[in-house]
Every structure is written in structure tokens, then in C-alpha cells.
Amino acid sequence: MPPRAPDLPIHIKPGNLQTSAAIEAWVRRKLAGSFRRYGSKMTAVEVHFEDVNGPKHGGDDTHCVMEARVNGRVPVAVRARAEDLYAAIDTAARKLELAVGRAVERIDARARRQFRRSRSRRTAE
């Protein structure tokens, strides 16, 4: 059994769309991988939905914006557009996981560089 994802706050803001328990569960399931991998470095996630055309139907009229708060960094935000809400959530979740991964890797690389510099200074003294 995989480790349980940490209980990080997910704030869902549906905008002009109706939300349901199924949509909220879908968002949590899609973000579970990111939480499992980077959960200790993340503090919160905000998810915004919007239907651009309203009652008119058209291609890529549903927007999903996800913003993750990562310790030590400015918030990481991604945007996705799709025909339906579930596809927009899927795309945004994939983009968010990649963006958070890059942000965390930058933080970790910087910490490793600083550690090596301080260690080399101590041995030089």
C-alpha cells in the first residue's frame, strides 16, 4: 500500500461553475501524487475553475488554475484549458507537479551548494 498523502489544505474556488463532491474528490485524487512526493515542502494548494463562454459551448472554454505554496519560494501557478472540467483538472495537475518539482529541485540544489561552500570553508581554515 502506498504511503498516505499528507493532509494539505486544498482550497477549491469554483468561480462561475457549480462544484460537487465528485469534482472535489477528482481534484484531491489528481493532486495526491504531488502531495506524496513533495508534501513536506508544500503548504497549500488553491484551485480555481472558470467557464469562459458561460452557457455557450465551444472548444477549450473551461479554465483551471492551480497555485501551490512551496516553502521558501513564491507561489507556483499553472493554467490549463480544455473542453470539460475534468480534462482541465488533469492537465493542470500534471503541469503543477512538474512546476513544483522544478521549484523544489532549485531549493534543494541551492541548499546543497551552500552546504558544500560552508564545508569547504571550514576545511580550508
Domains of the chain: which residue ranges?
10-124
The residue behind cell 493542470 is 92
The residue behind cell 452557457 is 55
Q: Find, among 31, 27, 48, the residue nearest to 39 by Cα.
A: 31
Q: Please give the grid coordinates belonging to residue 117.
A: 561552500
pLDDT band, very low/low/confident/very high, at 94 (cuts 50, 70, 90): very high
CA distances from 11 to 24, 54, 59, 65, 72 (A): 10, 23, 27, 12, 20
Do the beta carbons of residue 52 and residue 25 sit within 8 Å?
Answer: no
pLDDT exceeds 50 at position 111: yes
Share the mean pLDDT of the chain: 81
Domain 10-124 has CATH 3.40.50.720: no
Strand 10-13 versus strand 62-70 pairing type: unpaired
Residue type present at position 85: L
pLDDT exceeds 70 at position 84: yes
Residue type present at position 80: A
